[in-house]
Structure 1
Amino acid sequence: MLLHQTSGKWRLGLALSLLTVLLWGVLPIALKVTLQGLDAYTVTWFRFLMSFGLLGVYLATRKQLPSGEKLRSLPLSLLAIASIFLAMNYILYLLGLSYTTPANAQVLIQLAPVLMGLGGIYIFKERYTLLQWTGLGVLTLGFLLFFNEQLRTLITAQGKYLFGSALIVVAAIVWAIYGLAQKQLLQQLTSANVMLLIYGICAMLFAPFAQPQDILKLTPLQFTMLIFCGLNTIIAYGAFAESLEHWEASRVSAVLATAPIVTLLSVWLVAFLFPTWIVTNNLTIVGVLGASLVVIGSMTIALGKKPN
C-alpha cells in the first residue's frame, strides 16, 4: 500500500501548525465568554451548523462533494459512532468548561490524543517506542502535579470544579473513540468529506435542543465570540489537515501539544486586560511545572514514533 508523502515544505507545515495551536489555544477563552450568553447546546449546534455550511460551500465550489456511490459504500454504524461521539465531545467539553477554567480544560483535554494513541495500539496494532512510553510517564507525572495544585480549588469550589474536570476527562475519552472511528472511515472518503457528513449529522442531533432566538439577545462581544468559535472549528481543522500535507504527522502533533501554553498565556493576558471576561487560574510554580510536563510528555509521545 502506498503511504502518503509530505511535500517537503516544512516551513509552511510549521506555520499551519502554529496557526492551529493559536486557534485551539484561545478557543476555550472565546467559548467561556460565549457561554455567558448562550447555553452549551445552542453554542454547539451553531458551531456544527456553521462548519457544515462553510465546508459544504467550499467543497461544492471545488467540486469535491462525496458522490452517491461513495456514500452508499460507507459503513453507517461507524459513521454513527463517529458522529455521536464527536457530538458528545463538543457538548461535554462545553459543559465542563462552564464549571472550570479555560487553562484547566485545555490541560485536561490533552488526554484525548494520548488515549487515541493507546487505542491505536490496541485496535490497529500500532506500537509505542521506549521514548513514547517515557513520554507517557512524563505526561502522567505532569497531570498529577497539575491537579495536586488544583486540590485547594476543588475544596473551595463546592464540587463544581471537580465536576467540570470530570466532564472534560469524559470529553477526552469520547474524542479518542471518535478519532479511531474517523481513522477507519478514511478508507472510504477524504477527511473533508467525512467531516462534512459528521458536522451535518451533529447539527441535526443538537437542533431539537438549540435556542436560536437567544442568539439575538447576545451582546456584541458575545456574538463576536460565537462567530469566532464557528470559524475556529473550520479554520483550525483545515489548517491542521493542510499541515499534514507538508510536514510529518509526528512533528505536527508535537507542535499541537503546546496548545495549553498558549491557553495559559492567553488567559493571563485577557484576565489582566479585561478582568471581567473570565476567571483565571491561580497557579503556583508546581501547577505551572505540571502543565509544562504535560506538554513535554505529549511532544515526546508525538516525536518518539519510529518512521515508517
Structure 2
Amino acid sequence: MYQSNWKVGLPLALITAFLWALLPIAMKGLIADMDPTTITWYRFLGAAIFAGTYYSWRQELALGQLLQGKLLPYTVLAVTGLLGNYIAYANGLNYITAGALQVLIQLAPLLLLVFSVIWLGEQFSARQWMGVTLVCIGLPLFFNLRLQELIQGKDPQYLVGVGLIVIAAITWAVYGVFQKKIVAVSRPQNLLVMIYVAGSLCFLPAAKPATALTLDAFSWALLIFLAANTLIAYGAFAKAMAAWEASRVSATLALVPLMTLMLSALIGALWPNYIEVEPMNWISWLGALTVVFGSLLAAIGRGR
C-alpha cells in the first residue's frame, strides 16, 4: 500500500524537508527581537486561525473524534509531544547555531524508528542498527571543534542548547508515533488543528504578544514565514505519513541538516551579520555526512 503512494508521499516529504531546513535560519534571525516562547505562540496562533478557518469552511473537521475512546490517550500524547518539541526547539536555538541544531535534531527521526519498534511493532534489522551506530559516530565528529569545551563544561550555554534539542528530538518522536496511530483512523487535519489550538492556549500565559508592535518590516516577514512554515510543513508531513511508509518519510527528512548547513553557509557568506554560522572543518563535514548516511540507513535499511 505504501509503495503505491510514493508519488504522493515523496513530494510531500520533500516539501517538509525544505521548510524544516529553512525554519531554524528564519527563527534565529527573529530571536534577537522576540523571545522564543512568543515566537512559538504566534506560530501556533497563526496556524490555528488559518487551518481552523480553512478546514471548517470545507467541513472537514471532526475534533470531537480525537477525544473519544482509544484515540483520547493517543491525542494527549501526540499533542503533548509536539508542544514539547516546539518549545524545546525554540529555546535550544537560542543557545546554539542553526546548523548544529539540525544535525542534532536528526536524532528525532532515528528515535521515531526506535519507538516504532516498541509501539508499532516494526522490525529493526542489522542494517538499521548499523545506521544507529553511524549516527552515534557522526555526532562527535561533527562537534569536534566544540567537543573539549562541551566535555569540560566551558560553554554551559551551548551545553544547555544541546540538552534542549535532545529533548526536542525525543518529544518529536513521541508525537510521530502517536500521530501515525491517529491518522490511521482520523483525518490528519483533525490532529493538526487540535495541536495548533492547544499550543495557542498553552503558551499564551508566558507569551508577550505586544512585542510584535516593535518589529520592523523584515522581522514581521520572518514571523509570518514561521507561522506559514508551521501550517504548511506539518500539513505536508501528516499527509506524507498517511500516504507513505514512516521509514521512507524519515529517510527523506534525513536530508534536512545538509540543506540547513549549506543554506547557513551561503547566507553567512552573503550576509555575515544575520546569523552565527557553526564553525566547521573537514571532520565536521564528515561527521554531518555520517549522521545523514546513518539516518538514511536506519530508515531504509530494512529492505523489501
Greater displacement, 56-65 / 295-304: 56-65
Greater displacement, 247-256 / 134-143: 247-256
CA contact (8 A) 1:44 1:91 kept: yes
Greater displacement, 270-279 / 74-83: 74-83
Corresponding residue for residue 194 of structure 1: 191
CA contact (8 A) 1:95 1:167 kept: yes
CA contact (8 A) 1:99 1:163 kept: yes
Structure 1 counterpart of 2:301, one-letter code: G
Corresponding residue for residue 75 of structure 2: 79
1:289 to 279, 286, 296: 286
Q: CA deviation at 1:252?
A: 3.2
Q: Write the distance in 1 (CA, Å) between the matches of 2:81 and 2:246.
A: 23
Q: CA deviation at 1:111?
A: 0.6
Q: CA deviation at 1:97?
A: 0.4
Q: Write the distance in 1 (CA, Å) between the matches of 2:149 and 2:24.
A: 19
Q: Write the distance in 1 (CA, Å) between the matches of 2:153 and 2:83.
A: 31
Determine whether 1:168 maps to 2:165. Answer: yes
Determine whether 1:60 maps to 2:72. Answer: no
Q: Write the distance in 2 (CA, Å) between the matches of 1:70 and 1:181.
A: 12
CA contact (8 A) 1:146 1:286 kept: yes
Q: Write the distance in 2 (CA, Å) between the matches of 1:71 and 1:169.
A: 29
CA contact (8 A) 1:73 1:188 kept: no
CA contact (8 A) 2:63 2:190 kept: no
CA contact (8 A) 2:47 2:228 kept: yes
CA contact (8 A) 2:85 2:172 kept: yes
Q: CA deviation at 1:89?
A: 1.1
User: CA separation of 1:258/1:4 partners in 2, compared to 1, >3 Å: closer, same or farther?
Assistant: closer
Aligned to 2:59, what secondary structure does the other structure show? Answer: coil
CA contact (8 A) 2:110 2:299 kept: no
Determine whether 1:45 maps to 2:59. Answer: no
Q: How does 1:80-229 map to 2 (within 5 A)?
A: 80-151=76-147, 154=150, 158-229=155-226
CA contact (8 A) 2:183 2:242 kept: no
Structure 2 counterpart of 1:297, one-letter code: G
Q: CA deviation at 1:147?
A: 2.5
1:277 to 248, 262, 274: 274
Per-residue CA shift, 1:213-270, capped at 9, x if unaligned? 1011112221111111111111112233444566554333222101000100111111
1:6 to 4, 7, 26: 4
Q: Under a length normalisation based on structure 1, what TM-score does the superposition of the two structures give?
A: 0.90
Q: CA deviation at 1:53?
A: 1.6
CA contact (8 A) 2:132 2:294 kept: yes
Corresponding residue for residue 260 of structure 1: 257
Q: Write the distance in 1 (CA, Å) between the matches of 2:300 and 2:121.
A: 19
Unaligned 5+ segments in structure 1 are none
User: CA separation of 1:15/1:176 partners in 2, compared to 1, >3 Å: closer, same or farther?
Assistant: closer
Q: Write the distance in 2 (CA, Å) between the matches of 1:201 and 1:186.
A: 18
Q: Write the distance in 1 (CA, Å) between the matches of 2:240 and 2:233.
A: 10
Q: Write the distance in 2 (CA, Å) between the matches of 1:177 and 1:75.
A: 15
Q: Write the distance in 1 (CA, Å) between the matches of 2:105 and 2:213.
A: 31
Greater displacement, 236-245 / 36-45: 236-245
Q: Under a length normalisation based on structure 2, what TM-score does the superposition of the two structures give?
A: 0.91
Q: Write the distance in 1 (CA, Å) between the matches of 2:165 and 2:82.
A: 13
Q: Write the distance in 1 (CA, Å) between the matches of 2:93 and 2:65.
A: 41
The percentage of aligned residue pairs carrying the same residue is 40
Unaligned 5+ segments in structure 2 are none
User: CA separation of 1:247/1:198 partners in 2, compared to 1, >3 Å: closer, same or farther?
Assistant: closer
Task: Provide the aligned length of Structure 1 versus Structure 2.
Answer: 303
Per-residue CA shift, 1:24-71, capped at 9, x if unaligned? 111100010111111111111111111112211221232211064664
Q: Write the distance in 2 (CA, Å) between the matches of 1:37 and 1:22.
A: 25
Per-residue CA shift, 1:135-167, capped at 9, x if unaligned? 111111111212233225646963111111111
Corresponding residue for residue 304 of structure 1: 301
Q: Write the distance in 2 (CA, Å) between the matches of 1:279 and 1:70.
A: 42
